[in-house]
A and B are shown apart, each in its own frame.
Chain A
Amino acid sequence: EVQLVESGGGLVQPGGSLRLSCAASGFTFSSYEMNWVRQAPGKGLEWVSYISSSGSTIYYADSVKGRFTISRDNAKNSLYLLMNSLRAEDTGVYYCAREGSGGYCSGGRCTHYWYFDLWGRGTLVTVSS
């Protein structure tokens, strides 16, 4: 079965650390770019971080830059998010999401697109004293 399963969430005090994992199965993990997306309670989706299929290119949202580290182990079909210096505003459900991409060309002009076609069920992170 094609799926992503997150783990590692829990209750942590402000300033603490947590490492999230995302186990992939049913597809060739090493061929896909991956992302972490989070959702605070009652709020919308927020993109957190991106990693290329080889791990050579990484991006972060401004809200987590310098505190979070994304990584992957293609041999273990796993994606990770190390979260340091956690704050109350980091509380929420964290999803890992597989990314696809493509382009549509017409009249000599190409328009590209990206999408998240596979999501895990998420893992809840609560930052509170």
Chain B
Amino acid sequence: SSELTQDPAVSVALGQTVRITCQGDSLRNYYASWYQQKPGQAPVLVIYGKNNRPSGIPDRFSGSSSGNTASLTITGAQAEDEADYYCNSRDSSADHPRVFGGGTKLTVL
């Protein structure tokens, strides 16, 4: 089965740019989607497809992909961006069509 690997924690200074990465074999064939989750709240979709943002998501959030790595970039991080971020994609196994990365805790300093 496939796995998606994320760094457990990343920090960024207020107003600076941060990249959160997600690695996995399935990302060579499928785009990832990205979710933001704040404590006690349900996840929120922030990026999907090649680089699409749902309505209401600030344009400081962007996505990219290269080889087996998908990236979520926050350009000009704000205090309210402090949260857990999860990537998700299709598993290479036909019996397990969806898989999440382990999540990255983003701290805005």
Contacts and interface: CB of A to CB of B under 8 A. Distances in A.
B103 A59 contact: no
Interface residues of B, number: 30
Given A45-B100, A62-B96, A111 B43 contact: no
A45 B89 CA distance: 13
B96 A112 contact: no
Interface string B18-61: 00000000000111110101000011110011100010000000
Contacts of B54: 117
Given A45-B86, A122-B42, A112 B99 contact: no
Interface string A16-37: 0000000000000000000101
Contacts of B88: 45, 47, 114-116
A47 B44 CA distance: 15
Given A45-B43, A113-B33, A59 B96 contact: yes
Interface of A: 35, 37, 44-47, 50, 59, 61-62, 95, 100, 102, 104, 111-117, 119-122
